[in-house]
A = this chain, B = another copy of it.
């Protein structure tokens, strides 16, 4: 981290500009340590555009003027914890202040006014041996900001494993724990499908940790109890499973870069300008003070800086550290080396930036795509769960098992239904063969006291004989046996008609009883007078009717 203090002006300016864009911060200051136990401004810049003023004052110079006043200040290193100076004195590689704390611990009035005017929500102070790097954000910092910083300055710590930021040897206060109001498990939202729009809280929650330049409110409403926030709640709470957050964060960093090609081209040009610049400005500022004694009040843990600083840029630069004794003709070569250092610093950032560019393009459509895909996945999971609930409960809860068991269940059910319907059909046919009589009986209950009907049975296709159904309904008080006997006597004397089967019922209501009789008859001969037969039957039973 100290190497940025050792750079020449031009590469340092490029680097700082790059750094500011990388983190989307509003301003950046390099406070250099002076042996007179104070910090003074070495370099830095303030980007007006990052926080657009809500009041439409067209004079953009107030914050700039305050920044100028701030940067011309000199900060005596005292035994308090005012900023800047606190991180340097206590060897803190990361120290973050927000809101009222920042204003309270500011060292002087122009600094405080600048913070307010520039709407600085968060300031980060990174101490090293050469001084302190201050960096301000116009929005509230998030958890991964520290990790981002660490990745920037000590990239080799993050080359392989994705360690958490809390595992770093950083003694600063953990920022913004965001008191979550949900300890419920991520219940897959359990709500019906909701229609997402692009400015719904989901999207802003996706952007909440990204230094954006728009006026989108990057603060999530903490206590929004609508159902729409529940769907993204596991993404923005600290109680979520780690991998989701890590994946979400890893994809969505640095969304503010406009166009990769233009950016890369401009960066390339800047680097070329750095490299091809003549070495005239190689001695524009004195070499940094070579103090190896630790700052006061922290003598024991100064080697905390040694370990992270052993980067690849230092490992393979032998001769850099002891080469400051001779100051003869190797000055140009030394400047060359310094330029190399600066270039590799730029290279580090540049590569990471470029890599981020082409590994993710979080444009608006990409965000929309992401949300749509999430919604689709959630819908699929809901369907899976709904399907799983229909299955017999003893089965596996796998997706594949759900599918296969559903398949088996469905086919077996289909076969079952087929078999049942077949069986039902033949049962119903069987019953209907008998139940049709009942239905005909029920349907034939006319108002008359005696009702005689004759219907031809369809199976009687023969010419010699035919089968008919004779149905007699009789409302009578007399017992049903009388009617039956009379009809049977009548049939007995009619020799062309023989009885095949008969069915009789007596339906007794409170007032009267109804005898229902169905006889299947076989009639021989083709010249059978149906109406005469019907009238004869009626006359037989007519006097029994009441």
Chain A contact residues, CB within 8 Å of chain B: 156, 159-160, 260-261, 264-265, 268-269, 271-272, 275-276, 278, 312-313, 315-317, 333, 336-337, 339-340, 343-344, 347, 350-351, 354-355, 358-359, 376, 379-380, 383-384, 386-387, 390, 399-400, 403-404, 406-407, 409-411, 413-414, 416-417, 420-421, 423-424, 427-428, 430-431, 434, 479-482, 484-485, 488-489, 491-492, 498-506
Residue A501 contacts which of B399, B411, B491, B505 (CB distance < 8 angstroms)? B505
Residue A499 contacts which of B265, B376, B421, B479 (CB distance < 8 angstroms)? B479
List, in ascending order, chain B residues with CB within 8 A of A343's CB. 275
- Assess whether A485 is in contact with B479, with CB atoms less than 8 Å apart: no
* Cα of A260 to Cα of B312 in the assembled complex, Å: 12
List, in ascending order, chain B residues with CB within 8 A of A502's CB. 484, 502-504
List, in ascending order, chain B residues with CB within 8 A of A156's CB. 261
Q: How many copies does the complex hold?
A: 2
List, in ascending order, chain B residues with CB within 8 A of A347's CB. 347
* Cα of A542 to Cα of B313 in the assembled complex, Å: 118
List, in ascending order, chain B residues with CB within 8 A of A268's CB. 312-313, 316, 344
List, in ascending order, chain B residues with CB within 8 A of A379's CB. 400
Closest chain B CB from A343 CB (angstroms) = 7
- Assess whether A500 is in contact with B492, with CB atoms less than 8 Å apart: no
Residue A351 contacts which of B351, B386, B489 (CB distance < 8 angstroms)? B351
* Cα of A485 to Cα of B488 in the assembled complex, Å: 7
List, in ascending order, chain B residues with CB within 8 A of A409's CB. 410
* Cα of A159 to Cα of B430 in the assembled complex, Å: 77
List, in ascending order, chain B residues with CB within 8 A of A265's CB. 312, 315-316
- Assess whether B275 is in contact with A340, with CB atoms less than 8 Å apart: yes
**Contact (A503, B501) CB under 8 Å given A354-B351, A431-B431, A492-B485:** yes
* Cα of A92 to Cα of B466 in the assembled complex, Å: 100
Main secondary structure of the interface of A (DSSP, over half): helix
- Assess whether A276 is in contact with B337, with CB atoms less than 8 Å apart: yes
New A-B contacts (5) at CB < 8 Å, excluding given A265-B316, A272-B344: A275-B343, A406-B406, A410-B410, A423-B424, A499-B506
Closest chain B CB from A416 CB (angstroms) = 5
- In the complex, the chain B residue whose C-beta lies closest to that of A273 is B316
- Assess whether B387 is in contact with A403, with CB atoms less than 8 Å apart: yes
Q: Which 10 A-B pairs have the closest CB atoms?
A: A383-B403, A269-B316, A420-B420, A501-B505, A413-B413, A502-B504, A481-B492, A427-B427, A481-B488, A275-B340
List, in ascending order, chain B residues with CB within 8 A of A481's CB. 488-489, 491-492, 499
- Assess whether A492 is in contact with B503, with CB atoms less than 8 Å apart: no
- Assess whether A333 is in contact with B276, with CB atoms less than 8 Å apart: yes
List, in ascending order, chain B residues with CB within 8 A of A427's CB. 424, 427-428, 431
Residue A410 contacts which of B380, B413, B416, B492 (CB distance < 8 angstroms)? B413
* Cα of A500 to Cα of B517 in the assembled complex, Å: 11
- Assess whether B482 is in contact with A492, with CB atoms less than 8 Å apart: yes
* Cα of A264 to Cα of B352 in the assembled complex, Å: 14
List, in ascending order, chain B residues with CB within 8 A of A480's CB. 499
* Cα of A324 to Cα of B347 in the assembled complex, Å: 29
- Assess whether B278 is in contact with A333, with CB atoms less than 8 Å apart: yes
List, in ascending order, chain B residues with CB within 8 A of A358's CB. 159, 355
- In the complex, the chain B residue whose C-beta lies closest to that of A156 is B261
* Cα of A489 to Cα of B269 in the assembled complex, Å: 124
- Assess whether B383 is in contact with A404, with CB atoms less than 8 Å apart: yes
* Cα of A389 to Cα of B434 in the assembled complex, Å: 41
List, in ascending order, chain B residues with CB within 8 A of A417's CB. 413, 416-417, 420
List, in ascending order, chain B residues with CB within 8 A of A484's CB. 484, 488, 499, 502
* Cα of A278 to Cα of B336 in the assembled complex, Å: 9
List, in ascending order, chain B residues with CB within 8 A of A407's CB. 383, 386-387, 390
- Assess whether B351 is in contact with A355, with CB atoms less than 8 Å apart: yes
* Cα of A434 to Cα of B437 in the assembled complex, Å: 14
* Cα of A387 to Cα of B411 in the assembled complex, Å: 9
* Cα of A333 to Cα of B277 in the assembled complex, Å: 9
* Cα of A400 to Cα of B268 in the assembled complex, Å: 48
